[in-house]
Amino acid sequence: MGTPIEISEQAGVRYLHFGSDWVQGAMRIRKPNALELAYTREMMSGLLLRDGLHEVPAVDAGQWPRDVLIIGLGAASLAKFVYHHCPQARIQVVEIEPAVVAAARQFFRLPPEDARFSIHIGCGAQYVLDRQRRFDYVLVDGFDRNARAGVLDTLPFYQALRSRLSAQGLMAVNLFGRARGYKASIERIIRTFDDRVLAFPSCDSGNVVAFGAAGEPIERSIPELRQRAAALKAATGLDLLPTVTRLEQSGTLPGGQLTL
């Protein structure tokens, strides 16, 4: 693939680029395990939907998610957050470009591989097709230097991915860079997940995060989402209260109820 890797820093934040001005990942140097970019925070909104970090007592081995698949490493923001804040989770990262993994290790404090954290070098779509393992949470954030997702934004990929989701499975996908084909991307996800889809309002950066749900239905009221977001913020520092507000203001939750 030969992706050109570039690193920049500004105002205490380190950025990853693939040979262009597009930001492929970021880390606040003084808070290396925090989610610096808004869309990465919203990709973790599954923690509001299933029973996990917001629950009392603290995280235990029975909580969601137990198995996480991350397609596209970038600056390792999602991988680090899950690794440090979901100790019950086994994490599989799939990254097509070895240089990205090397950069994450050198510049973005990528955790070492161990019993619960592993990295596979290869195509994310092929990985999903070749394995039978099921996952509770799949985070899809893979792009080339021109912000194109390629095979990771196709109906066969989404269908294969859904078949790998557990009875409490959720997929979160970053649709950044697909402005012209945004509606087509959403239609593919809707078709795959039988309309059990939630597309968040676009972030200031232009990123749109979409969720597809499988298995057990999800029903959360706005007050319940706010309560869960407050507990999640207290536990991890991740503030999804603005996300809940944006969802409420967008008119995408009929009757103030999120149903997936």
Catalytic machinery residues: 141
- Between CA 51 and CA 108 the distance in angstroms is 29
- Between CA 4 and CA 24 the distance in angstroms is 12
- Between CA 231 and CA 175 the distance in angstroms is 28
Structure tokens at 70: 């991350």
- Between CA 159 and CA 190 the distance in angstroms is 11
Residue type, 69: L
* CB distance 260 to 59 below 8 Å: no
Rama region for 252: left / alpha / beta (φ>0; ψ in -120 to 50; rest): alpha
Phi, psi of 103 (to 5 degrees): -65, -40
Q: At what angle do helices 241-250 and 222-236 cross, to 10 degrees?
A: 160
191 contacts: CB under 8 Å, gap ≥ 6: 155
Phi, psi of 11 (to 5 degrees): 50, 45
Nearest to 23 by CA among 143, 180, 171: 143
Nearest to 179 by CA among 206, 153, 142, 158: 206
* CB distance 85 to 235 below 8 Å: yes
